[in-house]
Amino acid sequence: MDYGIWIYAILFLIIFVETGLVVMPFLPGDSLLFAAGAFCAGVQNDIGQTAELNIGTTLILLTLAAILGDALNYYIGKNLGLKLLNWKFKNKQILNPKYIEKTNEFYENHGPKTIIIARFVPIV
C-alpha cells in the first residue's frame, strides 16, 4: 500500500512545525520518528496489506524538516526575541524581564547538561 506524497508532506510539516515554532512543542515529533521508522520497515494489517514508507525519502525529508525548522526557530528568536520584552497586552508586559534574567543565569550555570537532558526528557 502506497501512501503517496501526502504522508511525506504531513510528516515533514509536523517535524518542521514542532522544531521551528516555539508555541508548538506538544506535537509528537520524537515518537513520530519511531512510528515513521516502523513504517519504513513495513507494517502489515489484518488482511495482509503491507504499508511501507521509502526510507531514503523519509530520512531526507525529515532531516530537511528538522534543519529548516531549527533555522526558522533561530531566525524568530534572533529577530523577535528581545522585542518581545517590550510587547504589552492590556498594558501589562507579556514577558517579565526578571524571568529572562533568571533563565539566563540558570543556563549559564546548567546550560549544557540541561540541553542534553531535554533532548531525551521532553518535559524539561
Residues 82, 57: Cα–Cα separation, whole Å: 38
Residue 89: strand, helix, or coil? strand
Instruction: Read off the DSSP letter of residue 85.
Output: G
| Higher local confidence (pLDDT), 34 or 67 | 67
Please state which of the ranges 15-24, 54-63, 65-74 shows the lowest mean pLDDT: 15-24
Average pLDDT, the chain: 79
Runs of H (alpha helix) within the chain: 5-20, 29-41, 55-80, 97-120
pLDDT at 123: 60
pLDDT mean over 51-60: 83
Q: Is the pLDDT of residue 25 over 70?
A: no
Runs of H (alpha helix) within 49-88: 55-80
Q: What is the pTM of this model?
A: 0.67
Q: Is the pLDDT of residue 45 over 70?
A: no
pLDDT mean over 72-76: 88
pLDDT at 19: 81
pLDDT grade for 1, boundaries at 50, 70 and 90:
very low
